[in-house]
Amino acid sequence: MPIARNAASVALDGFELRTLHIPLVSPFTTSFGTESVREVIVVRALTADGDGWGEIVTQNAPLYSSEYTHGAWDVATRWLIPALLERHTLAPDEVAPVLEPFIGHRMAKAGLELAVLDAALRSEDRSLGEHLGAVRDRVPSGVSVGIQRDPAALVETVRDYLDEGYVRIKIKIKPGRDVDDTAAVRDAFGAIPLQVDANSAYTLADAHTLTELDRFDLLLIEQPLQEDDIVDHATLARQLRTPLCLDESIVSSKAAADALALGSASVVNIKAGRVGGYLEAVRVHDLCRDASVPVWCGGMLETGIGRAANAALAALPGFTLPGDVSASSRFYARDIVTEPAVLEDGHVRVPTGPGIGVDIDRSALEDFTVKKVVLRR
Ligand code: SMG
Ligand code: MG
């Protein structure tokens, strides 16, 4: 089946940006901190043919990566949006080249690109899944479990997610909360599909601790070392029996190619925000698929906008491992789309409607908005 990845140009009138504060159903703790409220930027592309929606997946603080919400707002309003508005018409695949002179800020760029892509696809009555090359109508759903009070509490939290039907468990680890937490989950639930994510909390000097995890037959260890520790990750990978997966380090398809060439990873977590957009995410997918490297779709606690887009991305053929594409209810009691992602038999459905395939719940959007600006041509 030929994959059509060109979408029509849109006549851009402007962009609306909103910062939202959405409460989480429970605090989410990683090796770098705890979050109770999701601070996120929602992007609305205003075009002659209708609106398009995107999401900038930064966190409130620059702890996962160097990007953070206030910084993304600043660079988007001061530099990125003005550059895009210089163009009268714009195709989705022109967004990245127009923004390319501005270094970094990939999450901000990705959110803007998604809004333009959504507007273009809606105007053509085509779905994002069809556009990206989805081959499945639903994707297996894994869940990312934050660090809990103690291993016993972790077991109870994991039990609830397994009861809901999640098909793969990922637990967050950090020094001092690694081997015992993993052992507790293995002891309680046997051979479930299980993986761990360190969010860069270790150094090569901790290799002895990380090799202890080999005995748990994990699917993978995600991002044990720092973002730019690409050589150290290769050194560590040679010492581990468990597959090493990179998240933070894979900031582009070039970074992915470099990591694979060096042997720094044998699995790749693909996040559109981290690599600068869904179109670049497809390029990471394509090169990993060519190299027979399995990939899976990561998450950034997306609202219904990014969650729908992630389901479409995760339906591409190279996504052979369950992703962090969970039900909206994993994080939110109230989402900002009218049909939030739900778990059905351990899977999330790939939306089939035009564009991202979900509609915005305008009253929820208003209720969570703490800041708003409209920039027009
Ligand atoms: O959206 O399900 C989700 C979150 C998945 O653990 C998750 N994301 O490093 O993979 C990761 C983290 C990044 C966000 S931590 C605040
Ligand atoms: Mg991760």
Residue having the nearest C-alpha atom to atom 13 of ligand 1: 300
Task: Give the pLDDT of residue 1.
Answer: 40
Active site residue 372: no
How many domains are contained in the chain?
A: 2
Q: Is the CB of 99 under 6 A from ligand 1?
A: no
Query: Phi and psi of 162, rounded to 5°?
Result: -65, -40
* Whether 167 and 308 share a structural domain: yes
* Whether 64 and 135 share a structural domain: no
Q: Is the CB of 248 under 6 A from ligand 1?
A: no
Structure tokens that stand for 293 in this block = 């490297």
In 3D space, the residue among 244, 290, 291, 253 whose CA is nearest the CA of residue 271 turns out to be 253
Task: Give the pLDDT of residue 5.
Answer: 59
In 3D space, the residue among 221, 304, 68, 34 whose CA is nearest the CA of residue 146 turns out to be 34
* Whether 162 and 112 share a structural domain: no
Task: Give the pLDDT of residue 259.
Answer: 98
* Whether 235 and 146 share a structural domain: yes
Does the structure show a pLDDT above 90 at 2?
no
Query: What is the average pLDDT value for the chain, to the nearest integer?
Result: 97
- Residue scoring higher pLDDT (33 or 1): 33
109, 170, 172, 174: the catalytic one is 172
* Whether 199 and 334 share a structural domain: yes
Tell me how far the alpha carbon of residue 146 lies from the centroid of ligand 2, in angstroms.
11
Q: Is the CB of 341 under 6 A from ligand 1?
A: no
Tens digits of per-residue pLDDT, 231-250?
A: 999 999 999 999 999 999 99
Q: Is the CB of 144 under 6 A from ligand 1?
A: yes
Distance CA 292, CA 300 (A): 25
* Whether 85 and 45 share a structural domain: yes
- CA 223 to ligand 1: nearest atom: 9
- CA 299 to ligand 1: nearest atom: 1
> Ligand 1 pocket test: which of 65, 199, 329 has the largest number of ligand atoms within 8 Å of its C-beta?
199
Tens digits of per-residue pLDDT, 206-237?
A: 999 999 999 999 999 999 999 999 999 999 99
> Ligand 1 pocket test: which of 166, 324, 328, 329 has the largest number of ligand atoms within 8 Å of its C-beta?
324
CATH number at residue 75: 3.30.390.10
Distance CA 129, CA 117 (A): 12
* Whether 205 and 343 share a structural domain: yes
In a domain, 284, yes or no: yes
**Residue 6 — very low, low, confident or very high, per pLDDT cuts 50/70/90?**
confident
Distance CA 169, CA 162 (A): 8
CA dihedral of residues 308, 326, 294, 132 (deg, nearest 10)? -10
In a domain, 247, yes or no: yes
Contact residues for 190 (Cβ-Cβ < 8 A; gap 6+): none
Distance CA 273, CA 294 (A): 19
In the chain, what percentage of residues exceed pLDDT 70? 99
For the whole model, what pTM was predicted? Answer: 0.97
In a domain, 274, yes or no: yes
Tens digits of per-residue pLDDT, 284-340?
A: 999 999 999 999 999 999 999 999 999 999 999 999 999 999 999 999 999 999 999
- CA 300 to ligand 1: nearest atom: 1
CATH number at residue 308: 3.20.20.120
Task: Give the pLDDT of residue 333.
Answer: 98
Tell me how far the alpha carbon of residue 298 lies from the centroid of ligand 1, in angstroms.
7
Active site residue 271: yes
In a domain, 245, yes or no: yes
Q: What is the mean pLDDT of residues 8-32?
A: 97
Domain of residue 156: give its range. Answer: 130-349
Tens digits of per-residue pLDDT, 158-214?
A: 999 999 999 999 999 999 999 999 999 999 999 999 999 999 999 999 999 999 999
109, 170, 174, 271: the catalytic one is 271
In a domain, 213, yes or no: yes
Tens digits of per-residue pLDDT, 349-372?
A: 999 999 999 999 999 999 999 999
Tens digits of per-residue pLDDT, 100-159?
A: 999 999 999 999 999 999 999 999 999 999 999 999 999 999 999 999 999 999 999 999
* Whether 309 and 292 share a structural domain: yes
* Whether 109 and 182 share a structural domain: no
In 3D space, the residue among 45, 56, 55 whose CA is nearest the CA of residue 7 turns out to be 45
Q: Is the CB of 328 under 6 A from ligand 1?
A: no
* Whether 281 and 366 share a structural domain: no
Distance CA 34, CA 195 (A): 20
Structure tokens that stand for 271 in this block = 């996040």
What length is written for the chain? 377
Structure tokens that stand for 341 in this block = 């992602």
In a domain, 16, yes or no: yes
DSSP annotation of 217 reads: -
Q: What is the mean pLDDT of residues 3-20?
A: 88
Is residue 15 within 8 A of residue 158, CB to CB? The reply is no
Distance CA 298, CA 270 (A): 6
Task: Give the pLDDT of residue 184.
Answer: 98
Is residue 118 within 8 A of residue 52, CB to CB? The reply is yes
* Whether 153 and 63 share a structural domain: no
**List of E strands, the chain:** 10-30, 33-47, 50-56, 89-90, 138-140, 142-145, 168-172, 194-197, 221-222, 244-246, 267-270, 295-297, 347-349, 369-376
Does the structure show a pLDDT above 50 at 347?
yes
In 3D space, the residue among 338, 7, 26 whose CA is nearest the CA of residue 157 turns out to be 26
In 3D space, the residue among 27, 26, 19, 40 whose CA is nearest the CA of residue 303 turns out to be 40
In a domain, 356, yes or no: no
